């Protein structure tokens, strides 16, 4: 990958994301260096401080990167290039890097579970999907990015299990090696839980940890809570409450963040829910499953039992059905 930049902040941001995915970066700023590397580059990123001096662009696709919205807009208008603003809150840079990452065909899928509104059970669903995947012989993990959720390990009764939490990984950078074996594990699924007494991870740490897990495992489920994750997932499941406010929230969230979910999971209350086909048609999303309220799931959480255990059989079947609808999971 070629990065044409002199800005140390841009170079650092790109190199951190690239290192997490094992992508080699060649940094060039002099015109001769850029010309030598341009044609062979699998991905070309051009900093605005370099592009501002250009009148045209060499043949081949390139993307502008920078910190200033105004500078990106001016250069994009002049050169006709797409842009990625840094820091990359939308995961667009990670998506481009994942496309050229070595061994990408062998990397595990990252599936994010995002709530369109509060209280729709993204944590419980993420955990259930990871446990079901593990029970089917898939090397799986669940990663907790839901802010203020109290820690996903509590849902599994794994708060005392030994292993690294986000507090230990919150500033992870670059290559971290074999990570899964250092994490708490429940029923064969690795768990990256929030620490209740430490800093939340920054975006670079999320990129690093998810990149490392994708290199080791078959499928990683990310509990994103209500904020889109800072990495472009392979699949994005939107969990939508089956009422008017839930549908409106889903539409607003997708519009505000430019999201293109793979599909939705409908969270329905008993005897008072908008039908799945109506919600699906309204949002233009395939319904991958309907999950109804289940008191047994709440009871299991209070007892520190996995949400697919004990009397939560109805919820377990619904989650298993969702997993079956996700391609390649």
Q: What is the pLDDT of residue 159?
A: 82
Strands 189-192 and 185-186, sheet pairing: antiparallel
CA–CA gap between residue 26 and residue 38 (Å, rounded): 10
Separation between Cα atoms, residue 55 and residue 57, nearest integer Å: 7
Q: What is the pLDDT of residue 103?
A: 61
Confidence of residue 94 (pLDDT cuts 50, 70, 90): confident
> Distance between CA atoms of 277 and 45, rounded to whole angstroms?
42
pTM: 0.69
User: Coil, strand, or helix at residue 21?
Assistant: coil
Encode pLDDT of 161-172 as tens digits. Answer: 889 998 888 877
Confidence category of residue 175, pLDDT binned at 50, 70, 90 = low
The pLDDT value recorded for residue 250 is 92
* The two structure tokens encoding residue 112: 């994010």
Average pLDDT over residues 223-249: 89
Reported as a pLDDT band with limits 50, 70 and 90, residue 197 is confident
User: What's the confidence (pLDDT) of residue 91?
Assistant: 66
Kindly indicate the confidence band of residue 307, based on its pLDDT and cuts at 50, 70 and 90: confident
DSSP-H helix ranges across the chain: 8-20, 31-38, 48-51, 69-79, 92-100, 122-135, 166-169, 203-216, 244-257, 276-283, 295-302, 313-325
DSSP states of 124-144 as a string? HHHHHHHHHHHHTT--EEEEE
Q: Please check the confidence at residue 63 and state whether its pLDDT lies above 60.
A: yes
DSSP single-letter state for residue 231: S
């Amino acid at each position: 990958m070629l990065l044409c930049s002199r800005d140390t902040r841009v170079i650092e941001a790109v190199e951190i994301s690239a290192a997490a995915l094992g992508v080699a970066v060649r940094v060039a700023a002099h015109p001769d260096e850029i010309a030598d590397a341009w044609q062979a580059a699998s991905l070309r990123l051009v900093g605005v401080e370099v592009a501002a001096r250009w009148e045209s662009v060499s043949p081949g696709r390139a993307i502008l990167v920078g910190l200033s919205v105004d500078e990106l807009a001016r250069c994009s208008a002049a050169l006709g290039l797409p842009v990625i603003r840094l820091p990359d809150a939308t995961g667009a840079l990670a998506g481009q890097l994942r496309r050229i990452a070595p061994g990408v065909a062998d990397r595990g899928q990252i599936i994010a579970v995002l709530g369109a509104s509060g209280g729709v059970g993204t944590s419980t669903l993420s955990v259930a999907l990871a446990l079901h995947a593990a029970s089917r012989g898939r090397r799986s993990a669940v990663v907790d990015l839901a802010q203020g959720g109290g820690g996903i390990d509590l849902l599994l009764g794994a708060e005392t299990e030994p292993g690294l939490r986000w507090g230990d990984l919150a500033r992870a950078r670059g290559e971290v090696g074999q990570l899964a074996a250092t994490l708490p594990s429940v029923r064969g699924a690795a768990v990256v839980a929030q620490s209740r007494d430490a800093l939340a991870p920054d975006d670079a740490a999320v990129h690093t940890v998810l990149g490392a897990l994708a290199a080791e495992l078959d499928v990683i489920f990310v509990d994103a809570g209500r904020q889109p994750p800072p990495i472009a997932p392979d699949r994005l499941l939107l969990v939508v409450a089956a009422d008017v406010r839930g549908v409106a929230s889903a539409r607003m969230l997708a519009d505000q963040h430019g999201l293109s979910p793979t599909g939705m999971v409908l969270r329905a209350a008993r005897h008072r829910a908008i039908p799945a086909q109506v919600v699906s048609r309204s949002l233009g999303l395939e319904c991958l499953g309907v999950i109804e309220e289940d008191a047994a799931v709440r009871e299991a959480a209070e007892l520190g039992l996995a949400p697919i255990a004990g009397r939560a059989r109805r919820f377990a079947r619904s989650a298993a059905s969702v997993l079956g609808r996700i391609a390649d999971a």
